[in-house]
Amino acid sequence: MHPMLNIAIRAARSAGKVIMHATEQLDKVEVQQKGTNDLVTTVDNDAEQAIIEVIKKAYPDHGFICEESGELGNRSSEYQWIVDPLDGTTNFIKGIPHFAVSIALQVNGKTEQAVVFDPIRDELFTATRGQGCQFNSYRTRVTKAKDLKGTVIATGFPFKVKHYKETYLAIFSDMFDDTADMRRAGSAALDLAHVAAGRLDGFWEIGLKPWDTAAGELLVKEAGGIVTDFTGGHGYVASGNIVVGNPKVVKAMLSKMRPHLTPALSR
């Protein structure tokens, strides 16, 4: 195992302990609203600090891009850790057992290491660039679906950008007609990990942030999948509009999206 991946796993498990301890006393968790339909808890902050502490101890000269704390450490370093300490905060607050820790390491702008950790189920998804994707130390691959028939596709509702509601629902309707079923579970990091593990055939969402997708993106690619924006391009980091799956599933999903795309969603 790459030593930096080992540190990322250690950091994710440290954050997981913070989160699991808090699930036993949810009534004591402080919740604040940091934006429209965007919540943060003391647990998000504590878990993030646990991650930073572990990584800084091993690599004091590295930089961080964190959901809660923003940019920290050495901003000029070629090593930047992309951290979402608790992806699925709303689920956590409501006591819904579906959330994850997401940590990625970018070296000169390329994601080289990735960890998504589900502390509720003790499930660990990891990847090192060029060395495949693993789930609890077992190699994983995306599914072999040839089109949307019989697939289960995950998505996320555009709850932070509700002005896209009509477009989203039109795409959802067309895609739903051809799939076996659709899922909306509330954690993009876990959705991406589950695509990489072959549990889901694909995933799409509008307006995600880099910390939502950085780790999951590498997991999917190392499991044989592809990641695109809504036009099949590579603008998903800037736009936050993401489509993932095996190449044939992504092609089928994009064909359902194309008739409904607005100029804003085509970037």
Condensed to tens digits (0 to 9), the pLDDT of residues 7-36 reads: 999 999 999 999 999 999 888 898 888 766
Torsion angle of alpha carbons 81, 33, 153, 215, nearest 10°?
Answer: 0
Considering the chain, what is the average pLDDT of its residues?
A: 95
User: Hunting for tokens 């891009």 — which residue is that?
Assistant: 65
3-state secondary structure of 130: coil
Q: Which domains does the chain have, with CATH numbers?
A: 3-140 (3.30.540.10), 152-266 (3.40.190.80)
pLDDT in tens, 100-116: 999 999 999 999 999 99
DSSP assignment string, 137-190: TEEE-----SSSTT-EEEEE--TT-GGGHHHHHHHHHHHHHHSSEEE--S-HHH
At residue 36, the pLDDT reads: 67
Q: What is the pTM of this model?
A: 0.95
User: Hunting for tokens 């901003």 — which residue is that?
Assistant: 75
Which range, of 72-76, 122-126, 179-183, averages the lowest pLDDT? 72-76
Of 114, 128, 115, the closest CA to residue 1 belongs to 128
Of residues 69 and 92, the one with the higher pLDDT is: 92
Q: How far apart are CA 232 and CA 250, in angstroms?
A: 8
At residue 37, the pLDDT reads: 63
Q: How far apart are CA 242 and CA 208, in angstroms?
A: 8
Per-residue pLDDT band for 264 (boundaries 50, 70, 90) equals confident
At residue 73, the pLDDT reads: 87
